[in-house]
Amino acid sequence: MAYCRGKLPRVSHSDAPRLLTVTLLMIPLCYGPLFWGMLYVDSGTAAVLELSLTPVALLGFALLLGDEPFEGRRVLAIIMGVAGLCVLFAPEIYSNTAAAADQSSFMRLVGSCAVASAAVVYAYGSVLARPLLAAYPADFMAGSTTLFSGLLLILGSLVLEPSSLSALQGDWGWPAWAGWLFLILFGSLVGYTLFMQLLRDIGASRAGAFAFVSPVIAVLLGIVTRGEKIGPVEITGMTVLLSAAFLALREPKNRSPAE
C-alpha cells in the first residue's frame, strides 16, 4: 500500500535497530508464545490473560518510558476492563478448568506464563514503535513488521515443529484457509494497520482500549451467527467492558483531542 501511494520510505541506519526490535517483539515473540501457550490453557483463561494484560502493560510501558503522563482516569478504566473480562469469561473458565482437571498443572502454569508474556512483549514493542510512527507511515510500519516477522515465524516453525513441512503443503481444508484469509485481510491488513495509526495518533494506553471492545464484538457475533445465548453474567461483563473503553478513550474536558 505504501509503495502504491509512492510513500515507501528508506529506513535510516539509526532507526533500523529499533525497527528490528519492534518487529521481533510485536509478532514473533508475541504470537509464537501465545499460540504455543494456548495448547495448554483453555480459551477463556487465555482471553482474560491476554486481553487484560495488554492494556495494563501498554499503560505501564508508556509511563515507564515517558511516552504518556499519568492519569488516574485511565488507570480506573483498566481496572474496570480487567474486572469486566473476568466477569465475561468466568463461566467458560470455570467449566474448562473442571474439564481439564486431569491435565498437568505444571504445563497449564507454563502455558499461562507464555500467554501472559505475549501481552507484555507486544505492549513493549508497541510503545517502542511510537517514535518510528512519527517518522514513517503507519501502513509501511505494519507491512514491514508483518513481512519480516512472518518469515521469521516460518523459519522458526521449520526448525522447532516436526509437522511444519507437511503444513507447508497447504492441505488444511477450506475452513482453515478461510480463517487464514480472514486474518490476513481483517486482522493484519485492516486491524493491525489501524492499530498502528491509533498508536501514532492517540497513544499506546488509549489504543489498547481495543482489548475491552473485542470480546463484546465476539459475543455479539456468536449470537448472530451461531445463535448463542447470553445471560445476566455476560450482559454485566459486556456493560463493564464498554464502560471501561469509553472511560479510556474519553478526552478530559480541559484538553482538545489534538493535544
- What's the chain's Rg over C-alpha atoms? 19
- 8 inside domain: no
How far is residue 84's CA from residue 78's CA, in Å, rounded to a whole number? 10
**Which residues, including other chains, have CB under 8 Å from residue 135's CB and lie 6 or more apart?**
9, 15
Asked if residue 241 has pLDDT above 60, the reply is: yes
- 49 inside domain: yes
- 254 inside domain: no
- 222 inside domain: yes
118-128 pLDDT tens trace: 988 999 999 99
- Residue 92 confidence (pLDDT): 63
- DSSP class of 208: T
DSSP string, 5-41: TT--PPPPTTTHHHHHHHHHHHTHHHHHHHHHHTTTS
CB 119 within 8 A of CB 50: yes
- 32 inside domain: yes
**How many domains does the structure of the chain reveal?**
1
Asked if residue 257 has pLDDT above 50, the reply is: no
Residue 121: strand, helix, or coil: helix
Asked if residue 22 has pLDDT above 90, the reply is: yes
User: Containing domain of residue 137, as a range?
Assistant: 16-159+174-249
CB 57 within 8 A of CB 123: yes
pTM tops 0.95: no
- 258 inside domain: no
Higher pLDDT, 17 or 84: 17
- 189 inside domain: yes
